[in-house]
């Protein structure tokens, strides 16, 4: 058995065959990539949806075990979907959610932080990092908090740190990168 | 502010993962990598399709068109990253990410300098046409683009 926060051991055994999984991505190819990786882990994607609206229809009725959703989609985006999901009540309000992002707009950083996902990973991500995060969200027993507009896992990690870095590390890293770039641009403009 | 705490029980996913049967992590990762590698040719086709879709976006002539065009460019650049990222096409990903950054910065500009976007698309075309061994040329394309972005967006403020 693998504990939370423990790096994946090659010899450890996992059984994800029965996990009812939904992948939501407006890019059919990107959804295929995600589903192919999941299939390697033993997970056959039960529901592959091209829009958040389609996903909502299914999530109202069908209990799932894992949701993998892309952040950037036309209309209702991935953040809106997760925000809705957390307030949707049974059967899926507490389901583990992994979000994937090719790029996060500056205006979306707060939305990303507050939507209630368990984890956001930025592309490119490797098969091992995806599996590591699936194992982590499966073991994630943080309580859910309702604070103002926020409904989701307690964002203050305690004894069970996620693999690698803190959940919002991608967002934080991007914000730092943006700040450094802005400083470089300002310096270039001043020359 | 009121805080309501919902204690959580073990998820069904957690129960499943420890149930009898299954495969080793090593086997799972090998299979996943093989499955992804099998999609490489489709990925390369998707990259080319995205670049052509970007090239087909017309430079906007008014504010409404600008918003639509920028959204289309942003979405297609996202799809390009989706397609290129699993296959270690690092330079193509870097240019597509830079394009997303640029669109994000230009979103508030009623009359954005479309040439910045055009140069990104030309860079993507160049990179996509270069052979794998042309590392120096790829580096040059990236350096040129990065200097242009610093100059243009630096001027823009």
* Domain-wise residue ranges, chain A: 21-190
Lowest pLDDT segment from A37-41, A150-154, A174-178, B93-97 = A174-178
Q: What pLDDT digit, counting tens, does each position of B136-152 carry?
A: 999 999 999 999 999 88
Query: By CA distance, what is B15's nearest residue in A?
Result: A138
Question: Is the Cβ–Cβ distance between A111 and B109 less than 8 Å?
Answer: no
On whether residue B134 sits in a domain, the answer given is yes
Interface test with A, best of B13, B44, B93, B100 (most A CBs within 10 A): B13
With a cut of 90, say whether residue A175 has pLDDT above it.
no
The pLDDT confidence band at residue B123, using thresholds 50, 70 and 90, is very high
**Could you check whether the bond before residue A91 is cis, i.e. omega within 30 degrees of 0?**
yes
Comparing A47 with A125, the larger pLDDT belongs to A47
- Looking at residue B157, its pLDDT comes to 42
B151·A96 Cβ contact <8 A: no
Q: Which of A99, A173, A30, A37 shows the shortest CA–CA distance to B81?
A: A30
H or E element: which one contains A21? strand A21-24
The domain that contains B59 carries what CATH number? 1.20.120
- As a whole number, mean pLDDT of residues B74-90 equals 94
- Looking at residue A23, its pLDDT comes to 98
- Looking at residue A181, its pLDDT comes to 60
Nearest-CA distance from A11 to chain B in Å? Answer: 5
Query: By CA distance, what is B102's nearest residue in A?
Result: A105
- Per-residue b or e along B39-58, where b marks 16 or more CB atoms closer than 10 Å to that residue's CB: beeebeebbbebbebbeebe
Residues 17-36 of B with CB under 8 A from A: 17-26, 28-36
Enclosing domain of residue B107: 41-156
- Looking at residue A5, its pLDDT comes to 45
Interface test with B, best of A33, A44, A67 (most B CBs within 10 A): A33
Measure the N-to-C terminal CA separation of chain B; round to a whole number of Å: 39
Lowest pLDDT segment from A61-75, A115-129, B72-86 = A115-129
- Looking at residue B49, its pLDDT comes to 98
A40·B32 Cβ contact <8 A: yes
**3-class SS of residue B53:** helix
Percent of chain B with pLDDT over 70: 98
Residues of B in contact with A105 (CB under 8 A): 74, 100, 104, 107
Q: Is A108 on the interface with B (CB under 8 A)?
A: no
- Looking at residue B107, its pLDDT comes to 85
- Looking at residue A166, its pLDDT comes to 41
Token pair recorded at residue A123 = 């592309």
A102·B81 Cβ contact <8 A: yes
Q: Is B11 on the interface with A (CB under 8 A)?
A: yes
- Looking at residue B7, its pLDDT comes to 79
Token pair recorded at residue B76 = 């297609």
CB atoms within 10 A of CB A13: 17
Across chain A, mean pLDDT equals 84
Query: By CA distance, what is A19's nearest residue in B?
Result: B13
With a cut of 50, say whether residue B109 has pLDDT above it.
yes
Cα→Cα distances A49→A98, B61, B98, Å: 15, 35, 28
Pairing of strands A150-153, A45-49: unpaired
On whether residue B1 sits in a domain, the answer given is no
Question: Is the Cβ–Cβ distance between A70 and A24 less than 8 Å?
Answer: yes
CB atoms within 10 A of CB B134: 14
Residues of A in contact with B3 (CB under 8 A): 145-147
The pLDDT confidence band at residue A188, using thresholds 50, 70 and 90, is low
Q: Is B41 on the interface with A (CB under 8 A)?
A: no
Gyration radius from chain A CA atoms? 17
Cα→Cα distances B136→A183, B30, B94, B141, Å: 28, 32, 16, 9
Angstrom distance (rounded) from CA A183 to CA B20: 54
Closest CB from A9, A14, A72 relative to B23: A14
| CATH code, residues A21-190 | 3.40.50.2300
């Amino acid at each position: 058995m693998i504990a939370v926060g423990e790096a994946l051991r090659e010899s450890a055994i996992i059984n994800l065959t029965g996990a009812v999984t939904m992948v939501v991505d407006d890019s059919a190819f990107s959804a295929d990539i995600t589903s192919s990786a999941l299939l390697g882990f033993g997970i056959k994607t039960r529901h592959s949806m091209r829009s958040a609206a389609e996903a909502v229809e299914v999530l109202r009725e069908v209990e799932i075990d894992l949701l993998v959703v892309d952040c950037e989609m036309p209309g209702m985006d991935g953040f809106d979907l997760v925000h809705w999901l957390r307030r949707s009540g049974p059967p899926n309000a507490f389901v583990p959610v992994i979000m994937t992002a090719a790029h996060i707009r500056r205006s979306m950083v707060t939305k990303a932080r507050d939507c209630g996902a368990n984890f956001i990973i930025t592309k490119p991500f490797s098969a091992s990092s995806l599996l590591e995060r699936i194992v982590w969200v499966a073991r994630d027993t943080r309580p859910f908090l309702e604070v103002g507009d926020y409904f989701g896992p307690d964002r203050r990690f305690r004894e069970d740190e996620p693999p690698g870095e803190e959940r919002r590390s991608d967002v934080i890293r991007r914000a730092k990168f943006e700040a450094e770039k802005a400083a470089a641009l300002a310096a270039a403009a001043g020359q | 502010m009121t805080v309501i705490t919902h204690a959580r029980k073990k998820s069904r996913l957690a129960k499943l993962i420890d149930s009898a049967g299954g495969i080793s992590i090593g086997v799972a990762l090998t299979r996943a990598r093989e499955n992804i590698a099998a999609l490489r040719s489709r990925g390369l086709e998707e990259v080319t399709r995205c670049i052509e879709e970007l090239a087909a976006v017309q430079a906007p002539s008014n504010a409404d068109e600008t918003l639509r065009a920028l959204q289309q460019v942003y979405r297609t650049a996202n799809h390009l990253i989706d397609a290129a990222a699993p296959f270690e096409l690092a330079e193509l990903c870097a240019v597509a990410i830079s394009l997303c950054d640029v669109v994000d910065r230009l979103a508030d500009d009623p009359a954005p300098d479309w040439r910045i976007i055009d140069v990104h698309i030309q860079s993507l075309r160049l990179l996509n046409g270069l052979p794998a061994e042309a590392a120096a040329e790829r580096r040059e394309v990236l350096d040129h683009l990065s200097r242009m972005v610093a100059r243009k967006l630096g001027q823009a403020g």
